[in-house]
Amino acid sequence: MIPYYYLASVALIVIGLYIVIAKKNLIKIIIGLDMMDTGVNLLLISIGYVKGGTAPIENGNYTLYVDPIPQALVLTAIVIGVSVMALALSIVIGLYKNTGSLELDEIRRERK
């Protein structure tokens, strides 16, 4: 069976990378970084999957569970990603208020 989850996470990482390389708009670059973040989280979660397993909550109804460690790790990673995103967006807002533009080219031209 082809692991579609891995393919999807690689696709997310690569699309985010392409956006970061090719785009000039700062908001789009931040969206690309966020997509890479999501791809890595999806990859970690799907590595911990056990066939037929359920969420690791032991209320007596199930016996087979997925790996809880990647889930705890991804919980941390999501929160760190949110804080990095908030900081980056606030810096972009400040840049826009100073230069009046979100395009990297125009900001560079302004500086000269």
Partner 1 sequence: MKRILGGVIAVLIFIVLALAFMHIPFGNIDLAEYHYYNPVDNEHTQDSVPQHYLDEGKKETGSTNIVTAVVVDYRGFDTLGEVTVLFLASTGVGSVMYIFEKEKRRKVRRANAVVETASKLLFGFIILFGAYIFVHGHLTPGGGFPGGAVIASSFLLLYLAYPRFHAEHKSLNVAESLAGLTFVGVGILGLFLAGYFLYNFLPFGLPTYLFSAGVIPVIYVAVGVKVGSELTGIVDAMMGVRE
In the complex, the smallest distance separating the C-beta of residue 10 from partner 1, rounded to whole angstroms, is 5
Q: By the 8 A CB rule, do 70 and 41 touch?
A: no
27 or 91, CB closer to partner 1? 91
Give the integer Cα–Cα distance in Å for 90 and 88.
5
In the complex, the smallest distance separating the C-beta of residue 112 from partner 1, rounded to whole angstroms, is 20
In the complex, the smallest distance separating the C-beta of residue 90 from partner 1, rounded to whole angstroms, is 4
Give the integer Cα–Cα distance in Å for 8 and 73.
20
Q: By the 8 A CB rule, do 88 and 30 touch?
A: yes
Contacts with partner 1 by CB under 8 A lie at 1-3, 5-7, 9-11, 13-15, 17-18, 21-22, 43, 46-51, 55-60, 65, 67-69, 71-72, 75-76, 78-80, 82-84, 86-87, 89-91, 93-94, 97-98
Q: By the 8 A CB rule, do 32 and 23 touch?
A: yes
58 or 112, CB closer to partner 1? 58
Give the integer Cα–Cα distance in Å for 56 and 62.
9
